[in-house]
Amino acid sequence: MIAYLIRRILYAIPILIGVNLLTFALFFVVNTPDDMARMQLGIKRVTPEAIDKWKQQRGYDKPLFVNSTADGAGTFTDTIFWQKSASMFAFDFGYSDDGRSISREIATRMGPSLAIAIPTFLVGLVVYVSFALMMTLFRATALDMAGVALCVFLMSVSGLFYIIGGQFLVSKLWHLVPISGYAGGADSFKFVVLPIIIGVVGGIGSSSRWYRTIFLDEIGKDYVRTARAKGLSELRVLFTHVLKNAMIPILTGVVVVIPLLFMGSLLTESFFGIPGLGSYTIDAINAQDFSVVRAMVFLGSVLYITGLILTDISYTVVDPRVRLQ
């Protein structure tokens, strides 16, 4: 397995270079360094000299990919692409275009993102599995039909509606939690409870329907019939046998998203005023801050690859028949 993991990590390097190259190309197709400078310097009283100075101070005065004026390796290393990308592989993200340390920002903002993402993920998993199990338990009854209809309904509603509706009902009408904002430590509870509930409710439709399908697949299998024939109660069959075997597809689907929890949620963070990484990314895109955008895309790619590797490992944990070679 170690050899497999090393191989997967080595595969990740060209993937990360490719992602980096693509991000760089896409960004600079839309924005020139001059555009970036103007965005930072504002509209009023910006002179061409100020733009040149801004580019020079941040290293955007070099050619994008190939520096024909440089010699030897400098042809490729004395370029914006190399200067901005190479250090990232050592997780040195440098400074944002407004001069602030990106690593420091990421470290600060990761907490609020996780304060929402982890509970939403865990509570959601429990709720979705429980709801799917309930539908499976009452399969082919009116309750099951109502459950499926509810799932379809919940899937059809926009995420933004949940946010605005939740804020309106819970915060504005019932005065139970603050509409938006964030505080550190124990005070964070009242700020994150509504985003978590909304995150969980928003995911019930799709996740529970998927898990229900997995459970129904399992429930028709021979080992379940055997368990029932032995006289086990339906609840026992479901929780001890069906759930355990259905965990393989559930777990593998779930593990891949765990590392991405660090990246936060763009919409939720923005509407609830949560100072996480999701809103950091959105702000950077709006401000055309390439340094932050590339750092966040790079981090997202690393976390996604990590998720995929963890998924492979989780296969071996939940299914002893699987061997990584």
Partner 1 sequence: MKSLWLVLSLLLLTACDGALWNSPYSTDDAGESILYTAFTERPKHLDPAQAYSENEYQFLANIYSPPLQYHYLKRPYQLVPLAGSDMPRVSYFDANHKQLPLTARDAWVAYSVYEIRIKPYMRYQPHPALVPNNLYLKESDLDDIYSLSDFAEKGTRTVTAADYVYQIKRLVHPQLHTPIAGVMMEYIVGLKDYAAALQVANKAKPDEFLDLNEYPLPGVEVVNSTTYRITIKGKYPQFAYWLAMPFFAPMPEEAVRFYAQPGMKERNLTLDWWPIGSGPYYLSENDPNKRMVLSKNPYYDSERYPSEGEMGDGAVGLLKDAGKKLPLIDQIVFSLEKETIPYWNKFLQGYYDASGISSDSFDQAVQVSVGGEANVSEAMQKQGIKLSTSVATSTMYTGFNGLDPVVGDDSVRATKLRRAIAIAVDFEEFISIFANGRGIAAQSPIPPGIFGYRAGCEGINHYVYDCANGQAKRKSIEEAKKLLAQAGYPDGVDAVTKQPLVIHLDTTANGVGNKSRLDWIRKQFDKIGVQLDVRSTDYNRFQDKIRRGDTQMFYFGWNADYPDPENFFFLLHGPQGKVKFGGENASNYSNAEYDRLFERMKNMENGPDRQAIIDRMQEVLRRDSPWLWGYHPKNYVLQHSWLHNIKPNIMANNKLKYWRVDTAQREQKRHEWNKPVYWPLEILALGFVGFVAWMRRYLRKREGGH
Contact residues: partner 1, CB under 8 A: 30-32, 35, 38-50, 53-54, 57, 95, 98-101, 104-105, 108-109, 134, 137, 164, 167, 169, 171-183, 187, 190-191, 233-235, 270-273, 275, 279-280, 283, 288
Tell me how far, at minimum, the Cβ of 261 lies from partner 1, in Å. Answer: 19
Tell me how far, at minimum, the Cβ of 155 lies from partner 1, in Å. Answer: 22
Torsion of CA 105, 106, 111, 112, to 10 degrees: 70
Coil, strand or helix at 95: strand
User: Roughly how many angstroms between the first and final C-alpha of the chain, as a whole number?
Assistant: 6
Question: Which one, 197 or 260, has the nearer CB to partner 1?
Answer: 197
Question: Which one, 97 or 312, has the nearer CB to partner 1?
Answer: 97
CB atoms within 10 A of CB 133: 20
DSSP 61-94: TS-SS--TTS-TTHHHHSSHHHHHHGGGGGT---
Question: Which one, 251 or 267, has the nearer CB to partner 1?
Answer: 267
Query: Between the CA of residue 166 and those of 4, 133, 143, 203, what are the distances in Å?
Result: 46, 26, 26, 14
Tell me how far, at minimum, the Cβ of 76 lies from partner 1, in Å. Answer: 24
- Please list the helix, strand and coil fractions of the chain in percent, rounded to the nearest 5, in that order: 75, 0, 25
Question: Which one, 181 or 253, has the nearer CB to partner 1?
Answer: 181
Tell me how far, at minimum, the Cβ of 288 lies from partner 1, in Å. Answer: 8
Distance CA 315, CA 252 (A): 7
Distance CA 72, CA 165 (A): 61
Tell me how far, at minimum, the Cβ of 71 lies from partner 1, in Å. Answer: 22
Tell me how far, at minimum, the Cβ of 46 lies from partner 1, in Å. Answer: 7
Is residue 139 within 8 A of residue 216, CB to CB? The reply is: yes
Question: Which one, 258 or 287, has the nearer CB to partner 1?
Answer: 287
Tell me how far, at minimum, the Cβ of 308 lies from partner 1, in Å. Answer: 30
Question: Which one, 8 or 53, has the nearer CB to partner 1?
Answer: 53
Tell me how far, at minimum, the Cβ of 20 lies from partner 1, in Å. Answer: 23
Question: Which one, 288 or 301, has the nearer CB to partner 1?
Answer: 288
Question: Which one, 36 or 299, has the nearer CB to partner 1?
Answer: 36
Query: Between the CA of residue 223 and those of 147, 220, 238, 241, 249, what are the distances in Å?
Result: 26, 9, 12, 8, 18
DSSP state, residue 231: T
Longest dimension (CA), the chain: 85
